[in-house]
Amino acid sequence: MKVVGASFSHLGLGNSDKSSSSVNLPSTSNSIKSSKPKIKPIGRNSSFKIESPSSTPRHSDQYTDLDDDWDADVGQGLSSTESQPKFLQSKPSRSFDYPSLSKSNHKRSESGVKKHVDGIIKDPANSLYTLYGPNITQEDKSIKEIEELNAIVSKFNRFKAIIQDQNINLVSLRKMAWNGIPSELRPISWQLLLGYLPTNSDRRVTQLSKKRQEYLGGISQVFNDNKEPATWHQIEIDIPRTNPHIKLYNYECTQRSLERILYLWAVRHPASGYVQGINDLATPFFQTFLSSYVESDIDIETFDPKVLPKQVLDAVEADTFWCLTKLLDGIQDNYIHAQPGIIRQVNTLKDLINRIDSSLYTHLENESIEFIQFSFRWMNCLLMREISVKNTIRMWDTYLSETNGFSEFHIYVCAAFLVKWSDELKAMDFQEIMMFLQNPPTKTWTEKDIELLLSEAFIWQSLYKNASAHLRA
Amino acid sequence: MAENDDYTYDYEYLFKIVLIGDSGVGKSNLLSRFTRNEFNLESRSTIGVEFATRTVEIDGKRVKAQIWDTAGQERYRAITSAYYRGAVGALLVYDISKSESYENVSKWLKELKENADENIVIELVGNKSDLDHLRAVPTDEAKQFSVENQLLFTEASALNAENVDLSFQQLLKSIHDMVSKHQFDMTDYSGPKPSGGPTISLTPTPGNEQSKNKSNCC
C-alpha cells in the first residue's frame, strides 16, 4: 500500500489547467503553493527550477490509494472519460500522485520505455499526465533567459489547455501549431490536425481502438494472400534505403513495421501503388508517434523499438499507417501515372519564381535549367531529401496547420527555398546550378532556419496565392 | 564534385549519357564511382533524375560526359524518358545476382527505342561483379545477348571499382568513333561550349538554335 496524493486537474476539462508548470524559487519547490504559474523575475544569480505540478495540487482532497497498482488505476481513471464525464467535469473528488511528477520519485526505466504505456495506447491524451513542459533546472539565468523560458512554459500550457478540452477547438490548435508544437504534445496534436483523432474526447478511445483493429485486420488479410510481387519487391529494396544514416531505421523492428505499412497502403491504393519517396514520408509519423512511448531524454533516432511491448508497436504502426494515408489522400495525384500533381506543382513553382525573383528566373532560363530537373524531387519527397527528418517534423507542424499544406503551401516553401540561394545561383552555370541544387547546403540547418523558411513561404503565399490563380485563369 | 576541370570549358565534346535499368541494380553508385570515385553503402533511392559529369580523354580529345542517372521504378518512366531525348549514349545496367533485372533488359531496350534517338550507343553493364558467388546471370549469356542486339558489354563492380572506368570509357569511345565517322564538322564546334543544356545530339533538336548549328550530325 502506498500513500499518494496529487491533482486530478490534468484531466480537467477546459482551460482550468494553466498551472502545470511554474517557475519558483528553489526554497518553495517542495511546498504546496498556489498553483498559479509563477513567473518571478529573479536576480541574476538566483537559481530556480520549473516545478512539476505534482507538488502543487490545487485540490487539497488528498487520498490514500489502496490499490498498489497505480497503473491500472490510472488506466481506469483515464478510460472513464466516456462513462463518467460528469465526474471529470466536476471538481475532482480524489486525486493521486503520479510517480513521475517529482524528479526524486521518478525512476526511469532502463529501456527508455515509459512506464504507463497502456494508458497512452488507449488515449494519447493520457500522456498529458506526465507532461509538464520543458524540464529546466539550470541556474544562473539572466532575466532575458528566464523570460524566454517562461514563454516556452506558457506556450506549452496553452497547448495543453487546448488539447485537454473535451471538444477540441481545431482552429485554435491550428493557430498555435503553425508556429511549432512542443515535441511532447506533437503526437496527439498531429493526430488531431489530420483528423485521425476525434476532437471530442469521448469518442477518442473507441475510435482509436477501432482504427487499430482495422489496421491489424488489413495486415493479416494482405499478408495471407499472395503478395503482389512487383510492389513487394520495390518496397523490400527501398526499406534498407530509408534514412539509412539514422540508426532507428537500421533496426530490424523498424524496417518490418515500415514494410507492412507501405505494403498495406500500396495494396489499398492501386491507382498509385507504392512509389519511391512514399517511404520517406512515413518516417516523420513513425518517429513522432514512437516518441510518445519513450522517455523524453532519449534520442528517438537512436532508439531500438524492439524493446517496446508488441501492443505499443502495433499502435505506433497503425497510427503511422492511418496518418500517412490521410497525408497521401491530399496529394494522391503526385503518385498516379505520369505524376500530374508534381508536374502542376513544378509549373506553379516556376510561375512563382518568375514573379518573386525574375532575375533568378531569367538566369535559370539562360542556363537552360528546367525546373523539373531540380524540383521534381522537392515535390515527390516534400523536401525530405534536402532537409533532415527532425527539421521536416517541425515543418509538418506548419503544413498540418495550413489548409492544403502538403499540396499548396509546400510550393511556397519550395519557392522560398530556391530564392534563398538566389545570389549564389546567379553566379553559377548550368552544371554548377544542378550540382548545387542536388545537394544544397542544409546539413547544418536548425529549427530556426526552418522557421525562417516557413515565414518567408507564408509571405509569398499571402502575396501570390490568389493573384496567381487569377492570372492563370 | 569531380575534378576542377569539370568546371572549365576545357573540352572538345560534350556527350549526354543516360543511366537506366531496374531499381536497385546500382546505377547511382556506378555514377558516383565514375565521377567522384565514391561508393556509398547508405545510398538512398534516386528520385526522378540526378546529374553528374566527368571529363575524360578519348583518342587525344577531351570529352565531357554529362550523365543523367534515372530512377529505376516504373512510375517514374514518364518523367525519366524525357531525358533520353538528346542522349548519345546509354548505360543499361542490370545486377548479375538478380536474374529479373537481366530479364528486364529487353523492356529497357524497348523504352530506348521509343524515346531515344535511333543512333544512340548502348552499353549493357552487369553490375555487382563482386557478388560472383551469388551470380544469377552467366557472363556468356549476357555477352551473347549484347552481340545479337549490337550492344557494348561489360561486367563491373561499383563496390570495388572494377571495370567502372572501363565501361564508361568504352561507351564514350564508341560514341566518339561514331561522331567522327559521321564527319562531324569540328571547325564549326570550336567556340565556347554551350552552357550545359545543348549537347552533341545525333539528330537535330528542333527549337534549339545552338545545338542545331553546332551538332548537325547524322
The pLDDT tens digits of the residues spanning A273-316 come to 999 999 999 999 999 999 999 998 899 999 999 999 999 999 99
- Between B204 and B144, where is the model more confident? B144
What average pLDDT score do residues B208-213 get?
Answer: 39
Structure confidence by residue, pLDDT tens digits, B52-62 = 999 999 999 99
What average pLDDT score do residues B135-162 get?
Answer: 98
pLDDT for the residue A135: 63
Structure confidence by residue, pLDDT tens digits, B118-143 = 999 999 999 999 999 999 999 999 99
Task: Please check whether residue B206 lies inside any domain of the structure.
Answer: no
**Mutation test of the interface with chain B: which of A232, A364, A434, A439, choosing the one with the most B Cβ atoms within 10 A?**
A434
pLDDT for the residue A387: 98
pLDDT for the residue A57: 40
N residues, chain A: 473
The reply to whether B103 touches chain A by the CB within 8 Å rule is no
Residue among A244, A279, A438 whose CB faces B51 most closely:
A438
Task: Please check whether residue B40 lies inside any domain of the structure.
Answer: yes
Task: Please check whether residue B112 lies inside any domain of the structure.
Answer: yes
Give A142's pLDDT tier (boundaries 50, 70, 90). Answer: confident
Task: Please check whether residue B197 lies inside any domain of the structure.
Answer: no
Percentage of chain B with pLDDT > 70?
79
- Between A183 and A27, where is the model more confident? A183
pLDDT for the residue A104: 40
What average pLDDT score do residues B205-218 get?
Answer: 39
Rg (CA), chain A: 24
| Residue/partner pairs of B195-199 with CB below 8 Å, 24 or more apart | B195/A366, B195/A367, B195/A368, B195/A429, B195/A430, B196/A367, B196/A368, B196/A429, B196/A430, B196/A431, B196/A434, B196/B66, B197/A367, B197/A368, B197/A369, B197/A430, B198/A368, B199/B14, B199/B15, B199/B16, B199/B66, B199/B86, B199/B88
Q: What cell does B45 get?
A: 533511392
What average pLDDT score do residues A361-383 get?
Answer: 98
Find the range with the poorest average confidence among A420-424, A439-443, A466-470, B205-209: B205-209
Distance of alpha carbon A78 from alpha carbon A100, whole angstroms: 17
Torsion of CA A202, A205, A209, A212, to 10 degrees: 100
| CATH of residue B43 | 3.40.50.300
- Between B215 and B96, where is the model more confident? B96
Give A431's contacts in chain B (Cβ within 8 Å): 6-7, 51, 53, 66, 196
Distance of alpha carbon A76 from alpha carbon B132, whole angstroms: 61
pLDDT for the residue A53: 41
Task: Please check whether residue B99 lies inside any domain of the structure.
Answer: yes
Structure confidence by residue, pLDDT tens digits, A207-223 = 999 999 999 999 999 99
Find the range with the poorest average confidence among A114-128, B130-144, B160-174, B177-191: B177-191
Mean pLDDT of all residues belonging to chain A? 81
Give A225's pLDDT tier (boundaries 50, 70, 90). Answer: confident
- What pTM did the predictor assign? 0.80
One-letter amino acid for residue A376 of the chain: F
Give A339's contacts in chain B (Cβ within 8 Å): 75-76, 78-79
* ipTM rounded to 2 decimals: 0.84
Task: Please check whether residue B7 lies inside any domain of the structure.
Answer: no
The reply to whether B99 touches chain A by the CB within 8 Å rule is no
Strand order in the sheet with B13-21: B49-58, B61-70, B13-21, B89-95, B121-127, B152-155
Domains of chain A: 2-65+90-132+143-166 (no CATH), 201-329 (1.10.8.270), 340-472 (1.10.472.80)
Closest CA to A208 of A82, A318, A88, A327: A318
Handedness of CA A322, A327, A330, A331 (dihedral sign): negative
Tell me which residue range forms the domain holding B34: 13-183
List the end-to-end C-alpha distance of chain A, in Å, as a whole number: 73
Interface of A with B (CB under 8 A): 230, 233-234, 237-238, 241-245, 272-273, 275-277, 279, 335, 337-339, 366-369, 372-373, 376-377, 380-381, 385, 429-432, 434-435, 438
Cβ-defined contact of A276 to B53 (cutoff 8 Å): no
Task: Please check whether residue B191 lies inside any domain of the structure.
Answer: no
Cβ-defined contact of B44 to A244 (cutoff 8 Å): yes
pLDDT for the residue B197: 43
Distance of alpha carbon A380 from alpha carbon A397, whole angstroms: 19
Residue B207 burial class via C-beta count within 10 angstroms: exposed 0-12, middle 13-18, buried 19 and up: exposed
Percentage of chain B with pLDDT > 90?
77
**How close does chain A come to B31, measured CA to CA in Å?**
14
Residue among B44, B48, B51 whose CB faces A434 most closely:
B51
Task: Please check whether residue B211 lies inside any domain of the structure.
Answer: no
Residue among B24, B44, B197 whose CB faces A430 most closely:
B197
CB B101 within 8 A of CB B95: yes
The reply to whether B38 touches chain A by the CB within 8 Å rule is no
pLDDT for the residue B18: 98
Cβ-defined contact of B75 to A367 (cutoff 8 Å): no
pLDDT for the residue A126: 84
Distance of alpha carbon B82 from alpha carbon A9, whole angstroms: 62
Percentage of chain A with pLDDT > 90?
65
Residue among B42, B52, B100 whose CB faces A244 most closely:
B42
Closest CA to B76 of B37, B111, B121: B111
Cβ-defined contact of A368 to B198 (cutoff 8 Å): yes
Q: CB pairs below 8 Å between A and B: how many?
A: 85
Query: Within chain B, how many helices (H) and strands (E) appear?
Result: 7, 6
Distance of alpha carbon A412 from alpha carbon A454, whole angstroms: 9
| Number of domains present in the structure of chain B | 1
